[in-house]
Amino acid sequence: MDLCGKVAVITGGKRIGRIVAQELAQQGMNLVLSYRGSKEEAEQTVADVEAVGRRATIVSADVSKPADCLGIFDQALATFGRVDVLINMASIYRSKPLQDVTVDYWTTDLDVNLRSAFLCAHAAIPLMRGVGGGRIVNFADWLVRSGRPRYTGFTPYYVAKAGVVALTESLALEVARDNILVNAIAPGPIVPPPDMDQQEIDEVAKATPVGHWGGEAEIAKAVALLCQTDFITGETIRVDGGRHLE
């Protein structure tokens, strides 16, 4: 799909999402950026997009809520009149021992990491059909793609991201005849979490076959590929520097 002049909706557009937005803008896309608690960062991303001659708009939304998801696409239509691409990046990543996981904790993890992807896709698909097709890119996790939980304390997160893989495959089958391709990215060590110390950062790099963290640009490249493809669908692509081979 030629991306020039097309419109992409990105949920959870801070940190890595900002670099993804910049890449898609460079490809000629206009953007709708949803945010929940990072308005300033969203506005900075708008400035990035406008700096390369494209347009962007932001919308405050809790993507675990159906009405908020619909609001994102209402704004996309009001601003640009179409939706061609959906990038489901909204996510939370947190750890808690199993005995301390409450129903509310479990529900929040699944709502943000899985339910939101379904809600946004469900809202986007009719609009994509209306313009002759589209692309949906979800975000899973390299461990889930590899079928290896590996670390304790992440049961709700792991289950939610496994659901993202299943959702990706099922949606891909449902909408393939509409020229809507649905794929997922499963990131590995891309950028260190803010609370990770240097020793831990170095240990992760050493455990990764390519010997270093990936950096945000590697995710942006993968997103662009899955937006441009006319034949890949139902795939979950690991972007992990070979970490799954360890």
Instruction: Annotate 216-244 with DSSP letters as a single string.
Output: HHHHHHHHHHHHH-SS--S-EEEESTTGG
What is the average per-residue pLDDT within 239-244?
94
Catalytic one among 93, 151, 157, 158? 157
Q: What angle do CA 161, 123, 188 make, to 5 degrees?
A: 25
Q: Give the separation between CA 128 and CA 180, rounded to whole angstroms.
A: 7
Interacting residues of 48 by C-beta distance below 8 A, sequence separation 6+:
18, 21, 22, 25
Q: Taking 80 as the threshold, does the pLDDT of residue 119 lie above it?
A: yes
pLDDT of residue 4: 97
Q: Taking 80 as the threshold, does the pLDDT of residue 39 lie above it?
A: yes
Domains in the chain, CATH or no CATH each: 7-245 (3.40.50.720)
Interacting residues of 201 by C-beta distance below 8 A, sequence separation 6+:
192, 213
- Label residue 13 by pLDDT band (50, 70, 90): low
Q: Which residue has the tokens 């159906």?
A: 66
Cβ contact 145:165 at 8 Å: yes
pLDDT digits (tens, 9 = 90+) for 121-148: 999 999 999 999 999 999 999 999 999 8
Helices (H), strands (E): how many in the chain? 9, 7
Is 157 in the active site?
Answer: yes
Q: Give the separation between CA 218 and CA 64, rounded to whole angstroms.
A: 27
Q: Give the separation between CA 64 and CA 29, rounded to whole angstroms.
A: 26
Note the maximum CA span of the chain: 51
pLDDT digits (tens, 9 = 90+) for 196-241: 999 999 999 999 999 999 999 999 999 999 999 999 999 999 999 9
**pTM listed for this prediction:** 0.96
